[in-house]
Amino acid sequence: MILRRAQYELAGRVGGPFLASLDGWKRTLRARGRTPRETPFGPPLESLRKLKEIMTAHYFQARYADGAVPVAWVTSGFPVEVLRPFGFHAVYPENHAAMCGVQRLVPGLSDAVEALGYSRDLCSYARTDLGSVVTGQTPVGRLPRPDLLACCTNICQTVLYWYRALADHFQVPLVLVDTPYVYGEAKPHHIAYVRAQLEELVRVAERISGRRADPEALAAVARKAKEGTDLWADCLATGKSRPAPWTGIDGFFHMAPIVALRGTDTCNDYYRMLRDELRDRAQRGIGGLREERHRLLWDNLPIWFAVREVATLLATRGFNFVCTSYTNAWAEAGSRIDPEDLIGSAADSYTHIILNQDLPNRLGILRRLSREYGVDGAVLHSDRSCKPYSIGQVDLKERLAAETGIRVLLLEADHSDPRAWSREQADNRLTAFMESFE
Amino acid sequence: MTRKEYIAQQRDRHGRKSIAVLPIHYPKEVLTALDILAVELWGPPGAPRGEGAGRIQAYVCSVVRNALAFLSSGGADAVDGVLFPHTCDSIQGLATLATDFGGWGKKSFTFLHPKGPPRESSRVYLEAELRSLVRELEPFAGRSLEPDRLAAALRLHEEIDECRAALLDARPRLAVADKELYALLRRGEWLWPADHLAELREARARWPAGPVRPGVPVLVSGYVPEPPALLEVLDAAGAYVGADDYAAVGRRVVRATNLAGDPWQALLARYWAAPPCSTRSADHGERIRHLGALLDRSGARGVILHVLKFCEPELFDVPVLRRAFAERGVPVLYLEGELEAGLSGQVVTRVEAFVEMISAGRAA
Amino acid sequence: MIAVALGVDVGSTTCKAVAVDGKGRVVARRVEHTDPRIEQQVERVIRELRDETGAHGAPVGATGYGRKRVPAARALTEITCHARGAFAALGRAGVLVDVGGQDTKVIRIGPAGEVVDFSMNDKCAAGTGRFLEVILGRLRVPFDQVASQVARAERSVPVSSTCTVFAESEVISLVAGGEPLEGILKGLHQALASRVAALARGAPGEVFMSGGVALNPAMVAALREALGRPVQVVEEPQLVGAHGAALSVL
């Protein structure tokens, strides 16, 4: 156990960063001798190297986590601030699934669980994760076995069905934070329910980790989470500059720490660095695009397996995504955290994330982002396997266009399964959309 | 009498308000106690029509798409309010879409029942949520919820469930076609409970239990027995529904009786005692045990999983159920419906092939 | 050569009929494109078989999409009939993969020729013979040249669209983009094979293939590759259903 723990620490502090630097060298060597391609994008962010190092270390360290520290598999909207003080290593299956999506591994993984009877119409993150668990295939070497599964239904109810399948497979406890949906205003008894579940969570965390809840530790993590959230918000806010100092795809990739490392120093140090770089670029007029002609808003999850394709298609004509409702969600999730009352404020904060609130609230967010970031248009990704994010988009499209005067496109795809996507159709739609601006 | 006429009659003769209720689980006893008629909205079947038809993408289940189209087109104008339970992400979305973005202009209520296994927090919450719903329903109903009215409503619904359970359990010995039995049971989705009870009692008298009927019994687990043609095809092929785990029917038959003295506690106990359902995220073990008991009691030789396309809660349970039945050596037919108005030739072939297969002496 | 039973498989693409002798062996056969006026076509085909084999009083078993529109002594689903026909031809248990014009079936046949389990892909054309038919038609590749062209392919050009209609556009772009036709054909076959294999993957045992698509050696090879298991084509693969139907009234 002690040896395992030592391995775990070493992996995080030394092994991971070393691997990442190796990877960096490989890329540099490969890039040498190649003529620079004509690119519509501005110079890449320096911080990207650090991001890769952090995430490589995170996953490398994860390989040594089981047996060293208590391991929790956690949903992206889960109040992880309540788990971290107990020493849990948190794994984010959604983040892992996004990686699988980018690397186009989803069809194979999904086939494996479809053979077990899971429908292809189910959430592609769930199919990817269950497929990875069942086949053992993963692009990150190895995911540690969980000691605890922690799911919060604020992003969707599907996570509960998904995590129950994981609980059946791993035979470990599943702790649920069920957040009733907010129609208008959250009722006091709804928040009280979430609060009570967080208190139950604390007791489960104590039992599994063998540590007592320490108010100091909880407050410390809460402070870090709040700070991280604010720093991420600062990074996003630089997108208001003209030109925006980074692109929409950058945002999707750079959000990994606020999701998977929220409440840690690593996360906050990173965003301080990123924020400073972005502010510097904004000041010097260096844009994410060489020539920014039109500014767009993106709604819903990214199309992970085609992120670069879509961004490049748009960038070639000077279109940049300067804000997204998805990256923005992480600037809001932890914003109400109060270190003086972590449990109570987490109950409030996590109940009010974008996907757990009604459509008028969603429209308000899209409208506000459109206005604050000065966009000319918006693309609403009609994500086939994410119903909570996609239901209502037909109306949102009409209303957003009517209220703001911007042009809005509804684009059919999926967040990680390329089989639900027709490249020709999408290119056509996006091109026609762009032409409508000329 | 059409449903619309019945609703109007209830209002005119008895002064009863009515509420359209989306599937699946809701506190019907409370509505009864407040003298409100519940009219359940299981579809309607067929392709969504009218202005509301295109507002929800095609990859969302037909219940929700059809419901929005129906509400938007004025189909539910005969009722005074709509109640949305917290069944799943899609119904959750429908509740805000219809109410906030157009499609339903009258009163809207929600019943956000807890998910997951019963815990202290969810028990406390359920009571709070029910009391909150009651506080909203009282002004709508024009009366307050008196304990003795609630107690009477509970007794009435207990009796109804007892009749429904008796009919379903005696099914193998009833000389009645599935189509007729289900037509009767499904009237409970919109009849005033006392009227439904009268019909159930009358049916029990009309259909006494006789010898075991001919044909192969099957267990059907799924959403709703729609279209009725499915039952006819089963019948023609030589099979019948020996055990029911339809969300619209069997999953809401509460068998526990004489629950607690205090009506509120009895109401809560009834909620927790209902058969396991994926939309209340019932534990898999519980669901498998429940279905196993149904298999044993009915002697069903095969299982039909009649799920609704895009229904996430049910679809996540399918592999678990398949595995459990495979372990028991019980064949499974998987039918994915979309609330179509009629059956396609392909579906008919599948059902017939399945019945041919299980009729050929294959042991359960 | 007196036949004692007749079997008709009225599919939506093709109409097949056989006459069998007392031992259940096929002694006469017909395969035609299904005419919209099914009843008349079946009546004529049955009459022709009766004349050919002298089986004037022989009972008729019917199966297939149009089975209920045929006056027959027995009408059973294609599942049951394909299992019977395949078992009669092979004499052993296994997994029968039948890829037809408009549907694909996987039937687990037990040691006594009984149907143990089955699954069908009948909602989406992309997993059926229609997929190839549409695209080969568009590319103007005659059926008898397909296998040799695929065999000549140096590499396979993947066709990723899951929908027949989108796949058609994708293939047109690939051709326009200068990709070799043989490679595209190979990719098409692999795409169909992988969808068919997905239906069959879980079923254990020997794999047999029937249906019109089994007459395409390239498709058989692609299915073998996709499954990673040997695939044996049932003799007279298109007639398996009709054969089973005849046996059901024997």
pLDDT at B266: 94
Give CA–CA dist C41/C38, Å, rounded: 5
Q: Over chain C, what is the mean pLDDT?
A: 90
Residue with tokens 């339970």: B85
Neighbours of B175 (CB within 10 A): 11
Task: Spell out which residues of chain C touch residue A111, defining contact as CB-CB under 8 Å.
Answer: 198
Task: Spell out which residues of chain C touch residue A418, defining contact as CB-CB under 8 Å.
Answer: 160
DSSP 8-state code for residue A242:
S
Residues A324 and A216: beta-carbon distance below 8 Å = no
Q: Please indicate if any CB of chain A lies within 8 Å of the CB of B316.
A: yes
B115 with A178: Cβ contact below 8 A: yes
Check which CATH number belongs to the domain holding C48 and give it: 3.30.420.40
Which A-chain residues 138-167 have CB contacts (< 8 A) with chain B? 153, 156-158, 160-162, 164-165
> Chain B residue closest to A411 (CA)?
B57
Task: Spell out which residues of chain B touch residue A176, defining contact as CB-CB under 8 Å.
Answer: 115-116
Three-state secondary-structure class, residue B274: coil
* Structural domain boundaries, residue C77: 5-84+239-248
Task: Spell out which residues of chain B touch residue C65, defining contact as CB-CB under 8 Å.
Answer: 345, 349
Rounded mean pLDDT, B213-226? 95
Q: Which of B331, B353, B360 shows the shortest C-beta gap to C77?
A: B353
Percent of residues, chain B, with pLDDT higher than 70: 98
Q: Report the candidate in C180, C98, C102 with the shortest Cα–Cα distance to residue C134.
A: C102
Q: Please indicate if any CB of chain C lies within 8 Å of the CB of A309.
A: no
pLDDT at B362: 45
C115 with B357: Cβ contact below 8 A: yes
Q: Which of C160, C166, C201 shows the shortest C-beta gap to A115?
A: C201
Task: Spell out which residues of chain A touch residue B125, defining contact as CB-CB under 8 Å.
Answer: 189-190, 192-193, 196
Q: How far is CA C47 from the centre of its chain?
A: 24
Q: Report the candidate in A228, A221, A217, A259 with the shortest Cα–Cα distance to residue A78.
A: A259
Q: Is residue C19 part of a domain?
A: yes
A193 with B319: Cβ contact below 8 A: no
Q: Please indicate if any CB of chain B lies within 8 Å of the CB of A77.
A: no
**Which pLDDT tens digit goes with each residue over B176-193?**
999 999 999 999 999 999
Give CA–CA dist A231/A267, Å, rounded: 9
pLDDT in tens, chain A (438 residues): 678 888 888 887 777 777 777 766 666 666 665 555 789 999 999 999 999 999 999 999 999 999 999 999 999 999 999 999 999 999 999 999 999 999 999 999 999 999 899 999 999 999 999 999 999 999 998 899 999 999 999 999 999 999 999 999 999 999 999 999 999 999 999 999 999 999 999 999 999 999 999 999 999 999 999 999 999 999 999 999 999 999 988 999 999 999 999 999 999 999 999 999 999 999 999 999 999 999 999 999 999 999 999 999 999 999 999 999 999 999 987 888 999 999 999 999 999 999 999 999 999 999 999 999 999 999 999 999 999 999 999 999 999 999 999 999 999 999 999 998 888 889 989 999 999 987
Percent of residues, chain C, with pLDDT higher than 90: 55
Q: Which of B331, B350, B362 shows the shortest C-beta gap to C120?
A: B350
Calculate helix-pair angle for B193-206, B178-186, nearest 10 degrees: 160
Task: Spell out which residues of chain B touch residue C118, defining contact as CB-CB under 8 Å.
Answer: 353-354, 357
Give CA–CA dist A21/B35, Å, rounded: 71
pLDDT at A29: 65
Q: Which of A111, A114, A419 shows the shortest C-beta gap to C162?
A: A419
B101 with A181: Cβ contact below 8 A: no
**Which pLDDT tens digit goes with each residue over C221-230?**
999 999 999 9
Rounded mean pLDDT, C104-125? 86
> What are φ and ψ of residue C195, in 5° steps?
-70, -40
Q: Which of B89, B121, B284 shows the shortest C-beta gap to A197?
A: B121
Write the CB contacts of B283 (distance below 8 Å, at least 6 apart in sequence).
Answer: B117, B276
Q: Please indicate if any CB of chain A lies within 8 Å of the CB of B99.
A: yes
Interface mutation vs chain C, best among A118, A424, A427, most C CBs within 10 Å: A424
Lowest-pLDDT range of A35-39, C156-160, C246-250: A35-39
Subunits touching C (CB < 8 Å, at least 3 pairs)? A, B
Give CA–CA dist A122/B247, Å, rounded: 20
The encoded tokens of residue A231 equal 């720093």
pLDDT at A428: 86
> Chain B residue closest to C102 (CA)?
B346
DSSP states of B277-309: -GGGT--HHHHHHHHHHHHHHHT-SEEEEEEET
C-alpha radius of gyration, chain C, whole number: 19
Residue with tokens 């008196």: B146
Rounded mean pLDDT, B114-142? 96
Subunits touching A (CB < 8 Å, at least 3 pairs)? B, C
**Which pLDDT tens digit goes with each residue over C25-37?**
999 999 999 998 9
Length reported for chain C: 250
Rounded mean pLDDT, B5-32? 97
How many interface pairs between A and B have CB atoms less than 8 angstroms apart? 148
> Chain C residue closest to B334 (CA)?
C119
Task: Spell out which residues of chain C touch residue B353, defining contact as CB-CB under 8 Å.
Answer: 77-80, 115, 118
Q: Which of A122, A183, A412 shows the shortest C-beta gap to B312?
A: A122
**Which pLDDT tens digit goes with each residue over B80-112?**
999 999 999 999 999 999 999 998 999 999 999
Q: Report the candidate in A330, A329, A350 with the shortest Cα–Cα distance to residue A186.
A: A350
CATH of B3-143, one of 3.40.50.11890, 3.60.21.10, 3.30.920.30, 3.40.50.720: 3.40.50.11890
Strands A148-152 and A174-177: parallel
Interface mutation vs chain A, best among B22, B24, B56, B59, most A CBs within 10 Å: B59
pLDDT at C202: 73
Q: Please indicate if any CB of chain A lies within 8 Å of the CB of C142.
A: no
Three-state secondary-structure class, residue B117: coil
C76 with B356: Cβ contact below 8 A: yes
Binning chain B into helix, strand and coil, the percentages to the nearest 5 are 55, 15, 35
Q: Would you say the CATH fold of B148-359 matches that of B3-143?
A: yes
pLDDT at A33: 55
Q: Please indicate if any CB of chain A lies within 8 Å of the CB of C160.
A: yes
Decide if pLDDT at B364 tops 50: no
pLDDT at A301: 97
Q: What is the ipTM of this complex?
A: 0.95
B128 with A359: Cβ contact below 8 A: no
DSSP 8-state code for residue A121:
T
Task: Spell out which residues of chain B touch residue A115, defining contact as CB-CB under 8 Å.
Answer: none
Confidence band for C167, pLDDT divided at 50, 70 and 90: confident
Domain ranges of chain B: 3-143, 148-359
Strand order through the sheet with B36-40:
B36-40, B17-21, B81-85, B107-111
The C-alpha torsion from B15 through B19 and B20 to B21, rounded to 10°, is -140
pLDDT at B68: 94
Confidence band for B363, pLDDT divided at 50, 70 and 90: very low
DSSP states of B336-358: EE---SS--HHHHHHHHHHHHHH
Q: Is residue C43 part of a domain?
A: yes
Lowest-pLDDT range of A102-116, B267-281, C154-168: C154-168
Confidence band for B46, pLDDT divided at 50, 70 and 90: confident
Cα distances (Å, whole numbers) of residue A158 to A124, A262, A420, B281, B315: 11, 23, 19, 10, 11
Architecture of domain B148-359: 3-Layer(aba) Sandwich (3.40)
B56 with A168: Cβ contact below 8 A: no
Rounded mean pLDDT, C26-53? 94
Residues A214 and A85: beta-carbon distance below 8 Å = yes
Neighbours of B105 (CB within 10 A): 10
Bridge partners of C233, per DSSP, are C209
Q: Please indicate if any CB of chain C lies within 8 Å of the CB of B236.
A: no
